[in-house]
A = this chain, B = another copy of it.
């Protein structure tokens, strides 16, 4: 008895409701600690209902990360808009990336730190064609600009971009992951690695 619920706008809204509940839980407790049953309970539906809207748990996660990383790309673009030159633009982009990762540890973790663990199985994950890729491309073109302007040593753009990426990913993941470790203040560490790398790659 009583199946149809007095939900505001049915149909498409339940999909959003699931997504919202899952996002909140993932961000608060981490992907592994959140079960489908928990998500279902929170929105007052049976666990299997989720499977009517999403293929499996990892697809839920993927959708959430997709939108989260639009935000990352947007934040990078926005921070770069205030730049005074190509090098400052690059620097701002790098720092924004790090800050984003530090402010959204669970999202960052899911997409950049352990995608293997999370996105295995049926729907295999590829970095290519989505998510973090756009953010990385922004970095690549920023590097190219700097080289063209002669403020960064000319060379393999891909190699240089990946070198930067390694650096900023390193700080972010390290600080997020090793709670107990006595890191120096994270903003100091962030600027240290960014400025060190820029200095090391100047002409």
Binding site for B on A (CB under 8 A): 30, 32, 109, 112-117, 126-128, 156, 158-160, 162-163, 165-171, 173-174, 177-184, 188-189, 192-193, 195-201
Q: Which of B116, B174, B179, B197 contacts A197 (CB 8 A)?
A: B197
The SS class assigned to the A binding surface is helix
Question: With the chains together, A16 CA to B117 CA distance in Å?
Answer: 28
Specify the chain B residue showing the minimal Cβ separation from A109.
Answer: B114
Specify the chain B residue showing the minimal Cβ separation from A181.
Answer: B127
Cβ B113 vs Cβ A180 within 8 A: no
Instruction: Please name the 7 residue pairs, one residue from A and one from B, whose CB atoms are nearest each other, closest first.
Output: A170-B170, A200-B200, A166-B170, A199-B200, A196-B200, A166-B171, A126-B180
Cβ B180 vs Cβ A128 within 8 A: yes
- Copies of the chain in the assembly: 2
Question: With the chains together, A113 CA to B174 CA distance in Å?
Answer: 8
Question: With the chains together, A192 CA to B173 CA distance in Å?
Answer: 20
Residues of B near A173 (CB, < 8 A) are: 113, 169-170, 173
Give A17 Cβ to nearest chain B Cβ, in Å. 28
User: Known: A126-B180, A169-B173, A196-B197. Is A189-B159 also a contact (CB below 8 A)?
Assistant: yes
Query: What are some 23 contacts across the A-B interface (CB < 8 A)?
Result: A113-B173, A114-B117, A114-B177, A116-B177, A126-B180, A128-B181, A158-B182, A160-B192, A162-B174, A163-B192, A163-B196, A165-B170, A166-B174, A166-B189, A166-B193, A169-B173, A170-B170, A170-B171, A173-B173, A195-B200, A196-B196, A196-B200, A196-B201
Cβ A113 vs Cβ B177 within 8 A: yes
Q: Which of B109, B170, B184 contacts A158 (CB 8 A)?
A: B184
| 4 more A-B residue pairs beyond the given contacts A163-B193, A196-B197, with a C-beta to C-beta distance below 8 A | A32-B117, A112-B177, A163-B189, A199-B199
